[in-house]
Chains A and B, each alone.
Chain A
Amino acid sequence: MAEHEEHAVSYKLYFKTWVWLLVLTALALGLGYAPINERLKAFLLVCTTLAKILVIASIFMHLRYERMNLVLLTFVPLILAIILFSFTFPETLGTATHVLRVR
């Protein structure tokens, strides 16, 4: 519990974090409308999203005050999502036999 007293109340920090999150949201929104290559857009959107969740997790969810054990545990869904993606996405490339039809 002593740990919690160290980072008593930091409304200012939360306010700053909020502003940063809004900036990142505006950036993502701009990317959504930007007339750029789809792949580059996807990559940049992944980057802004990861930046946002890192900010939320470390400051709002106090992960930066937690033990490394707990922090590492929270990466499990992200790693499994990457595995799932790398297993399913190649299926959609090349001569896919299961292309959806419109109605």
Chain B
Amino acid sequence: MDSSLAAEQQRILASNWGGGKSPFGTSWSKFMMWIFIISDALTFAAFLIAYGFMRSISPEWPKQTQVFNMVLITFMTFVLISSSAVMAMAVGAARAANPKLAFRFLMLTIVGGLMFLGCQAFEWSHLIEEGARLTHNPWGVPQFSASFFVITGFHGFHVLSGVTILLIVAIRTAMGKYSADQVENAGLYWHFVDVVWVFVFAFYYLL
């Protein structure tokens, strides 16, 4: 009886869930990045659900195509998706132990991020000039501009943080202090920022 119990315990400890092996098969830093991304995704999920709620209880919602410059928004989406693709190539180059190429791809990604931020600053200043505030706006219910500033503001701040992280990783890569894991973790975060924008683009601007 006792020996079979000990054997069972041995089996559990040796299994994936026993803690004996890495249950997720990743490095700790990558796993932590995933945990961070999941918790961050919950924040954005809450924002978007709250936005959906506010929109459904509004008697009317302004037509986005009349308020926003859709050409600019589409360009921003294009830039972010392209930078995400380039980032994936940077991770590939880092994995293939080619720091020079990885650095170039990283810099391209950073340029994409900065372009996105520039477009967003332009969009924000334009709308603020037209009279949009957190509390009111000229087009309809106050929740329209409130959700706009909160959601795109939060996302924009994530882009800014992403650019900062990528700059640090790029500098470290140029100095030869890089590790492929580091580049990959920064890449995961950058793709996540892209994923959030996909949601914002579809549900805030197009729906």
A contact residues vs B (CB 8 Å cutoff): 3-4, 8-11, 14-15, 17-18, 21-22, 25, 28-29, 31-33, 41-42, 45-46, 48-49, 52-53, 56-57, 59-62, 66-67, 69-70, 73-74, 76-78, 80-81, 84-85, 88-89, 91-92, 96, 98-103
Contact = CB atoms under 8 A, between A and B. Distances in A.
Contacts of B77: 25
Contact of B49 (A17, A33, A62, A81): A81
Interface of B: 16, 23-26, 31, 34, 37-38, 41-42, 45-46, 48-49, 52-54, 56-60, 65, 70, 74, 77-78, 81-82, 84-85, 87-89, 92-93, 95-96, 136, 140-143, 180, 184, 187-188, 191-192, 194-195, 198-199, 201-203, 205-207
Contacts of B24: 66-67, 69-70, 73
A28 B49 CA distance: 20
Contacts, number: 154
B184 to A, nearest CB: 8
A76 B39 CA distance: 9
B56 A15 contact: no
A69 B206 CA distance: 34
Given A14-B89, A92-B56, A98-B57, A32 B195 contact: no
A98 B87 CA distance: 45
Contact of A14 (B53, B88, B184): B88
Given A10-B92, A25-B77, A102 B140 contact: yes
B53 A91 contact: yes
A18 B84 CA distance: 8
